[in-house]
Amino acid sequence: MTVFSPATAADREVRTPLPVLGRDVSVPLVTGGEVTYAALDYAASAPALQRVWDDVAAYAPYYGSVHRGAGYLSQLSTDLFEQSRATVAEFLGCRPDDEVIFTRSTTDSLNLLAAALPAGTQIFVFETEHHASLLPWARGEDARVTWLPAPRTPEQAVAQLDVALHGAPKGPKLVCVTGASNVTGEIWPVRKLAAAAHRHGARIVLDAAQLVPHHAVDIAALDVDWVAFSGHKLYAPFGAGVLAGRPDWLREAEPYLAGGGATRKVTRTADGGLDVVWHEAVAARHEAGSPNVIGAYAIASACRALSEAGFDRLVARERQLLAELREGLAALPEVRVLSLFGADSARVGVLSFVVQGWNSSHFAAALSAEYGIGVRDGLFCAHPLVRTLLDSEPDEPGECGAPDAAPGERSLNAIRVSFGAGTPDEHIARFLAAVTTLVQDGARWNYRTENGRCVPARD
Ligand SMILES: Cc1ncc(COP(=O)(O)O)c(C=O)c1O
């Protein structure tokens, strides 16, 4: 017997997506006709919230130079820029002495922190990280990076870090960890990793690129030292990012970029050189050049919109969609969902999979060309992690290196579907229907490789 319980007002509320740009965009199908585009690549770049776009449009006629001009619009823009900083600090639950620096992206934020480390800092990073949090640390000649192997449970991650830090020599140490994987969507045990880091006198930076769009992140409650994220994954696609957290290392470091805005005084010296006095204020010191005021304002607008929508509601809705997605894929024995921590782990709306008998690039191309569904294929800038999950050998190709593989060969890359606050239920249903048809009936079109990408053959 099926017991039907009508949706309550609260249930209906949970099922409503936030309005985003592009929700009515039609795209052509290779088989003829058009269909509304289903954007299921939020983990790469999420569409702008309509609210963010409207806020930016309302401000656009008034924008002017920040921290420079005497004019009315310059002062207004400077105020908005600084208010945006305060909004981000509030959104992240920053401690009173934390600083918010506007950057270009998560990659930029982590490179900024890497450039500001005290001499001799030892870095601890899991090999499972996105390249943005994997690579900035190993660049200097005296870089000391400990690469931790892929843990298979959250508890193992904490234990591995504990052991590595326990055996580390004295001196400054930094742990870098992701909040949610851009490959599996799995949520990492950030609070416990932070506790382990601090137990051993290390600091910790959280790569929150995939966590902030899906979850409330509270820097003080998580007790992490820094948080980095990107606006374009947080529904604010205007080329800005954030590094927020402890001021001391940043204040003592050389400015990330040398140039205007980072200086207090520049004079010629008697011997013909230059004497430069840099700002001690952390944000000014590391934000040289004309700042991206629209980008910062858009991030602040997104922070306000998500806070007002309420993360409890957004998380509840995303869980429903994720459960439907996982259930639909589980019904297809040909589909293998990639996971590090196992089926029961907490996740955000990001999921990668391979399909038996299919090259992933071919599958993703068919989803786009025949169904108007945008996903991503490849190794997702987390090559070591995806190679581990696919059991591939170091000398095997990956990323776009496999589109020529004949159907039936093992795929050397994966397909990623990701969604968020703007995704209608219908997009998940459409995706599942398309995957099922492709798995059961195959593609209706021929595909070939052009410039490393799998595309529909036109002749
Ligand atoms: C977990 C994670 N960290 C960092 C980044 C880098 O972000 P960006 O390209 O905006 O610098 C990404 C992008 O996909 C990511 O998923």
DSSP 115-154: HTPPTT-EEEEETTS-HHHHSGGG-STT-EEEEEPPPSSH
Q: Is 210 in the pocket of ligand 1 (CB under 6 A)?
A: yes
The atom number, within ligand 1, closest to the CA of 179 reads 1
Q: Is 207 in the pocket of ligand 1 (CB under 6 A)?
A: yes
Please tell me the distance from the alpha carbon of residue 269 to that of residue 123, in angstroms, as a whole number.
Answer: 39
Please tell me the distance from the alpha carbon of residue 25 to that of residue 357, in angstroms, as a whole number.
Answer: 32
Residue 343's φ and ψ, nearest 5 degrees, are: -60, -30
Closest CA relative to residue 286, chosen from 244, 315, 325, 319? 244
| Residue pair 379/398 in contact by the 8 Å Cβ criterion | yes
CB atoms under 10 Å from CB of 262, counted, come to: 21
Q: Report which secondary-structure segment, H or E, holds 255.
A: none
Q: How far is the CA of 446 from the centre of ligand 1 (A)?
A: 33
Q: What's the topology of domain 9-48+310-456?
A: Aspartate Aminotransferase, domain 1 (3.90.1150)
Q: Which residues contact 368 (CB under 8 A, 6 or more apart)?
A: 374, 375
The three-class DSSP label of residue 334 is coil
pLDDT of residue 138: 86
| Residue of minimum CA distance from atom 16 in ligand 1 | 182
The CATH code for residues 51-308 is: 3.40.640.10
Q: What is the DSSP letter of 25?
A: -
Closest CA relative to residue 389, chosen from 125, 156, 183? 183
Q: What is the DSSP letter of 454?
A: E
The three-class DSSP label of residue 180 is strand
Q: How far is the CA of 192 from the centre of ligand 1 (A)?
A: 23
| Residue of minimum CA distance from atom 12 in ligand 1 | 209
Q: How far is the CA of 105 from the centre of ligand 1 (A)?
A: 8
Q: Is 209 in the pocket of ligand 1 (CB under 6 A)?
A: yes
pLDDT of residue 5: 47
| Residue of minimum CA distance from atom 13 in ligand 1 | 44
Q: What is the DSSP letter of 61?
A: G
Q: How far is the CA of 406 from the centre of ligand 1 (A)?
A: 31
Q: Which residues contact 135 (CB under 8 A, 6 or more apart)?
A: none
pLDDT of residue 142: 76
**CA-angle at 116, arms to 114 and 122, nearest 5°:** 55
Q: Which residues of the chain have pLDDT under 50?
A: 1-7, 12, 400-404
Burial 207-246 (b: 16+ CB within 10 A, else e): bbbbbbbbbbbebeebebbbbbbbbbbbbbbbbbbbbbbb
Burial 96-108 (b: 16+ CB within 10 A, else e): eebbbbbbbbbbb
CB atoms under 10 Å from CB of 332, counted, come to: 17
The three-class DSSP label of residue 66 is coil
pLDDT of residue 401: 45
> Which two tokens mark 276?
């430069």
Q: Is 133 in the pocket of ligand 1 (CB under 6 A)?
A: yes
| CA 313, chain centre distance (Å) | 21
The three-class DSSP label of residue 249 is helix
**pLDDT (tens digit per residue) in 278-307:** 999 999 999 999 999 999 999 999 999 999
pLDDT of residue 412: 82
The one-letter amino acid at 98: D
- Residue-range domain boundaries for the chain: 9-48+310-456, 51-308
| Residue pair 370/443 in contact by the 8 Å Cβ criterion | yes
Q: Is 132 in the pocket of ligand 1 (CB under 6 A)?
A: yes
CB atoms under 10 Å from CB of 110, counted, come to: 27
From 210, 217, 376, 416, mutation site for ligand 1 pocket: most ligand atoms within 8 A of C-beta: 210
Please tell me the distance from the alpha carbon of residue 47 to that of residue 335, in angstroms, as a whole number.
Answer: 28
CB atoms under 10 Å from CB of 156, counted, come to: 15
The one-letter amino acid at 225: D
